[in-house]
Amino acid sequence: MLRNIDKVSGIDKISTRSRMNDATFITLSMLGVLIVLLGLACLFVPNFYLGQNIINLVTNYWFVIVLGIGVTFLLITGNFDMSVSGIVAMSGVLSVYFCQAAHVSQSELANGLGLPYWAAIVLALTASLIIGAINAFFITKLKVASIIVTLGTMSIARGIAHIVTHGAQRNTSLPDVFKVIGNITVIGSIKLSVIIMIIFVIIAVIIEKRTVFGRRTYLIGANIEAARLSGVKVGQHLTILYLISSLLAGITGILLASEYVSGTSNRAMGSEFDALVIVLLGGTSIAGGFGSVSGTVIGALILAVVTSSATGLLLRPEWQFILKGIVTFLAIMAQRFALDRRNI
Amino acid sequence: MGINENISKQVRKSGTNSWKATLKGSYVFILLIIVVVILSLVKMDSGGIFGRGHFLNWDGSIVNLLRSAVPILTLSGGFTLLMISGNIDLSVGSALSLSAVIYSLMILNGFGLFFSFIITMILGIVLGFVNGLLVMKLRITPVIATLVTLNLYKGIARLIVPPGISAIKSSTIKTMPAWINNYARKDLIAGLPVAFFVAIVIIAILVIIQRKTILGKYSVAIGGNRLAAELSGINAVKIGWILYIMVGLLAALAGIARASYMSIGDPLTGDGMELDCIIAVLLGGTAFSGGEGSVIKTIAGALIIMCITTGLMTVIPPYWQMFTKGTVLVLAVTLNSLLVREKVLE
Amino acid sequence: MSEYVLEIKNLIMDFPGVRAVNDVSFNIKRNTVHCLVGENGAGKSTLIKILTGAYIKTSGTILLNGKEYIAHNTREAKQKGISTLFQELNIVNQLTVEENLTLGIEDTFMGFLKKTDKIKKMIGILKSLEPSINPKQLVSSLSVAKKQIVEIAKAVATEADIIIMDEPTAALSENEIQRLFKIIKSLREKNVTVIYISHRLDEIFELGDYVTVMRDGKHIATKPVSEVKDRCELIKMMIGKTLFESYIPKETQSSQTLLEVKNLTTDKLNNISFEIKKGEIVGFYGLVGAGKTEIARAVFGADSYRGEIIFKGKKLYNSPDKTIEAGIALVPEERRSQGLFTVLTIRENISVMNMQKISRAGFINHIKEKNVSAEYINKLRIVTNTMEKQVSKLSGGNQQKVVFSKCLFADSDLLILDEPTRGIDVGAKSEIYNIIRQLSKEGKSIMMLSSELPEIVNICDRIFILFDGDMKAEIKNSSDIDCEEIIHIATGGEVVC
């Protein structure tokens, strides 16, 4: 039927330029919101406009963005992953435990398995992938609601962190190389972790916009039955997404453990909700088939502006919870309102 | 045709062997008995099975368990009805914490029992009202809406506690009156406090609501087939809203019980309660998609989880708790998916 | 009270580009069973949708019990007295029969459910229809047939004037059908008028007091069933004198077998066996409930089945992604829910089934993708000014063209079309038929399942006639084919007309 699809006549008659589609509209709108908020913050929050502050916004939030990548892809397909924060804690703790020197001290928390650091990393990541696989199994094979399963695996993962650290932390007898990757700076004072985040974001955006894999993610989210009938291997695809999400969380855990030179059981507490918030702020909708990683990054920046403004205005840290809730709510309503108005 | 296929699927699923069906239906009770038996057999050294230090010892162990169980017993019945209607509330833990904080704050500052009770209960209604607004009226997905309120209420609770202090409690300036314990700690009958019996009454009321009132029936209808329910004239928004308010109120009562038991208002006290409730309803055979569930079975599930947490607390170190709970949740999920018949989804 | 419960005068229903109901006028007598027949596209379902409130009429008058009637949704229609028995039963499985009967109309005392005479009355109605149903049992434990009866009882008890039943016997066994008929006939004594739509013409004769025939949106005739001589008369009225574009016999006949289906059996299908050769266009003609979609989905691997399906010499696997790889594509029956990604653009929809062709090493070549979309938009004349338009914003016909494009792009050897021209205007239909013929010339095989006889007859080389899950006959197409015979068999007939 089609001869050569590299050259087709008549293409100039069909416009390929679109009235900007809804997803781009939302992303740009949230970017606008970000700029407005930045402006307001600079005006009202003392010292906000200092360049260092703004850079800090990004650099302090790097790990939420990394987690947000996995959560974005999953939310596009209509699924949650609440286990990420637990995996961060678990993988960090394991990375410490495996390479702590063995038989050095009376205190149990100062003894580890004495493996080389690279082995500890590999094992910690393997454990993270196992959690991701458990998630995938229950969601694709047993068809359990993703929110429930991932809340369960979050407890399991963080629970493992608790067990290994006896509820506290492990931070002694570590090899010197341990603190390198989390603290090393590249290009001036920008940490390696931030660079890694940027790389991951770029890769994610490429996957989302330019690859078949990314396209299939949207297809599953838009209409899972039609996707199946169009040849998409839905179960396999979702499994890969959960493995990616858990792997990203695992890497984050290792980097954070290195940065703080410790594995704590309450690391990244609440960051599963933070990740969800930035994804929602960025315009991704649970309705499926809609959303983007670039939106998530903008969402992260919005959240960063809001939370650091709160700190700058000397609000108590407890305000963070309240602000996150309100901001998420406003974003959902505003996005819905804007899309309804647009599509009348 | 696609529709007919769904119809024949329904037919196939409905023809269950009734013996197997009964077993499937009551597995939670069997589980409860198994758990109790296992825990009783631990530490079988001195004192016999009902002696001191053992699980089945009334004054030491069982009373403690039941007293600690008051919050979940108060809450999980209502939670069940909400889930039957096809909705969920993840903010119950935070609502509980906030209620505990408010209640203890009032008591500490000299307000009487009655007044503090009323105000806290009104708070619970408001918290539930907000959830209902978000989910039923504004049509935000229940998971996301209640995650939002989870954080909102959590923040407010922590904000109320003065900086540098971990909970609302006795200080050098003010002391928490001892009678705060009268509700949930002080012995009324057989070692059990007032709050326990209040929880029993609430459970009884919920069972009656589920079986004999229009609220119970409509909850099943909305969860089972919302379209058919609305076609018959049922106002799904109103029913759902009422259920959310009810859950909020029960969370407040649970918070009061918690504050009364511990004599402090701890803003972290309710953390994880939503997980406990979810485990309880899953064990009790509630379908996550709605339409199926039973208050009594959920209570059995709640007792299972209380047995596991308090019973295990004597045997395993506290830092094993979270892992255990997560594993129990995943096991409950597995059981539930295998044994509970979900609605046929079109 | 007038003798007519429903009076329809000059009813017109227009959609963009098509007049679905064209100046229809007829009356329905009170307390009768009034049947409505007509081929697909005759306008029956549109008429019913106007009555149930799914559509608002363009013009004309409908009088219910002498009063002007209009409904904006099913609930309003129900309140005004017109209840409908849908195929998706509007019943709550998790409640008991009794609870379903009283759903929404319970008597309560301060929130508590009261057992009043109302319940007794409703149970009485149910028992009079079907005594074997226990009001205390859960609806989920009932068979489909009994669930239907419960719905009927509810409609009767809520004092519906009219109950519309659309192909109610599609999922029922012979015994259950007989029982349903007894119940329907008894409804006349309960002051209920039944509008009964069915393709099974024998049912009309067994059940109906009156019959209305529609064709091409127009009202053809309304008569007492007793005055209708036989099915042939009905069939003649249904088809009319439509001249079919005559079938052009195929010149080249390939003898290579592409698809072999042996003893295909599912819940609905009974031992279906057939073969399709390379380059053939094979039609499956049958009406609602005949089993067309089941066959389509089984061959495509979307549903499980018993039996054997061999494609290009190899056994087929039970999953769509593998059958697509093997070279089969399906245009599904429900385009919105199964065939399209309505929130995505035309361009994104078209490329779905063959992403390898527009990508390399996993990366999409956007230029190729745009070329492909442009090609199909042109070829199928999809009406849009841009390929980036969200598919949900297209008309039904254009949406179907997008589904078609998607499947054509899969470049498969066998194309399964399930009701391919449903909801498409005449011009577009003709374009699609040409494409089908062209594909066949290129050596592709087509499996076309449809309930529209003209298109089956116009294009297909061979025709299988389905009825009630059975393959009743195989006919080789020729220019003087007997359409009445085909409809006769497809509506359950055995005897030669």
B-chain residue closest to A157, CA distance:
B323
Q: Which CATH class is domain C247-327+412-497?
A: alpha beta
Candidates 1.10.3470, 3.30.450, 2.60.40, 1.10.20; CATH matching A30-36+52-334: 1.10.3470
**Are B346 and C106 within 8 A, CB to CB?**
no
* Cβ-contact B301, B284 below 8 angstroms: yes
CA atoms lying within 13 Å on the CB side of residue C304 = 1
Show the CA angle centred on residue A285, arms to residues A282 and A290, nearest 5°.
85
Backbone angles phi, psi at A131, to 5 degrees: -60, -45
Question: Would you call B278 and A151 a contact, using CB atoms and an 8 Å cutoff?
Answer: yes
Q: Which residue has the higher pLDDT, C268 or A21?
A: C268
* Chain A residues touching B141 at Cβ < 8 A: 286
Q: How many whole angstroms separate alpha carbon C475 and alpha carbon C464? A: 6
Query: How far does the CA of residue C416 sit from the closest CA of chain B (Å)?
Result: 15
Average of per-residue pLDDT across C252-271: 84
pLDDT (average), residues B264-292: 90
What tens digit of pLDDT does each residue of A16-54 get? 555 556 778 888 888 888 888 888 888 887 776 666 677
pLDDT band at C314; cut points 50, 70, 90? confident
Q: Which of A17, A231, A290 sits opposite C353 (nearest CB)?
A: A231
Cα first-last separation, chain B: 13
Residue C69 has pLDDT above 70, yes or no: yes
- Domain limits of chain A? 30-36+52-334
> What stretch of H or E contains B13?
helix B2-14
What is the CB neighbour count within 10 angstroms for residue C92?
28
Give CATH for domain C4-239.
3.40.50.300
A226 lies within 8 A of chain C by CB: yes
Question: What is the tens place of the pLDDT at every residue in B298-309?
Answer: 999 999 999 888
Quick one: average pLDDT of C392-413? Answer: 87
User: What is the mean predicted confidence (pLDDT) over C262-267?
Assistant: 89
DSSP code per residue over C387-421: TTSBGGGS-HHHHHHHHHHHHHHTT-SEEEEESTT
Q: What does the longest C-alpha to C-alpha distance in chain A come to?
A: 80
> How do C210-215 and C33-37 pair as beta strands?
parallel
CA–CA distance, C388 with B60 (Å, rounded to integer): 71
Confidence of residue C249 (pLDDT cuts 50, 70, 90): low
Query: Would you say A209 and C363 are in contact if contact means Cβ atoms under 8 Å apart?
Result: no
List, by residue range, all CATH 3.40.50.300 domains of chain C: 4-239, 247-327+412-497
User: Positive or negative, the Cα torsion across A162, A163, A168, A171?
Assistant: negative
Contacts of B324 in chain A (CB under 8 A): 159
DSSP state for residue B309 in the 8-state scheme = I
- Please determine, for residue B246, whether its predicted confidence score (pLDDT) is greater than 80: yes
For β-strands C281-285 and C328-331, DSSP reports them as unpaired
Could C321 and A232 be called an inter-chain contact, meaning their C-beta atoms sit closer than 8 Å? yes
| Distances, alpha carbon B90 to alpha carbons A258, B71, B108, in Å | 33, 15, 29
Q: Please enumerate in sequence order all residues whose Cβ is within 8 A of that of C338, keeping only pairs 6 or more positions apart, or say none.
A: A223, A225, A226, A229, B2, C332
Of the candidate ranges A236-240, C332-336, C371-375, C486-490, the one whose mean pLDDT is the lowest = C486-490
Contact B334 A142 (CB under 8 A): yes
- The reported pLDDT for the residue numbered A19 is 52
Nearest-neighbour CA in chain B from C468: distance (Å): 11
Cβ contact, residue pair A2, C372, below 8 Å: yes
Tokens of B240: 């759902």
pLDDT band for position B199 (50/70/90)?
very high
CB C344 to CB A222 under 8 A? Answer: yes
Q: Please give the Cα distance from A337 to A342 (Å, whole number).
A: 9
- Say what the pLDDT of residue B16 is: 47
Edge to edge, what strands does the sheet with C314-315 contain? C272-277, C257-265, C306-311, C314-315
Residue of B nearest to A265 (CA): B319
At B1 the pLDDT is 35
Residues in chain B: 346
C92 vs B contacts (CB less than 8 Å): 220-221, 224-225, 228-229, 291
Q: Is the pLDDT of residue B10 over 50?
A: no
- Contact yes or no for A215/C354 (Cβ under 8 A): no
Compute the nearest-CA separation of B299 from chain A (Å). 19
pLDDT tens digit sequence for C146-158: 888 888 888 888 8
Q: Is the dihedral of CA B278, B283, B286, B289 positive or negative?
A: positive
Segments of chain A scoring below 50 in pLDDT: 1-13
Nearest residue of A to residue B320 by CA position? A163
| Tokens coding C16 | 């963009």
Q: Which amino acid is it at C4? A: Y
Count of CB pairs separated by less than 8 Å, A with C: 131
Using the Cβ of A340 and the Cβ atoms of chain C, whether some distance falls under 8 Å is answered with no
For residues C81-102, average pLDDT: 86
ipTM of the complex in this document: 0.87
**What is the dihedral angle through the alpha carbons of B100, B101, B107, B112, rounded to the nearest 10 degrees?**
-60
Taking an 8 Å cut-off on Cβ atoms, the answer to whether C104 and B233 are in contact is yes
Lowest mean pLDDT among A252-256, B312-316, C257-261, C461-465: B312-316
Q: How far is A218 from chain C (nearest CA, A)?
A: 8
Query: How many residue pairs from chains A and B have C-beta atoms closer than 8 A?
Result: 118
Integer Cα distance of B306 and B279 in angstroms: 11
Mean pLDDT on B169-178: 75
CB contact under 8 A, C438 and A19: no
Mean pLDDT score of chain B, rounded to an integer? 85
Are the Cβ atoms of C95 and B14 closer than 8 angstroms? no
Cβ–Cβ gap A16/C320 under 8 Å: no
Question: Could you give the CA distance from residue C58 to residue A336 in angstroms, rounded to a whole number?
Answer: 32
What is the pLDDT, as a whole number, of residue B123? 96
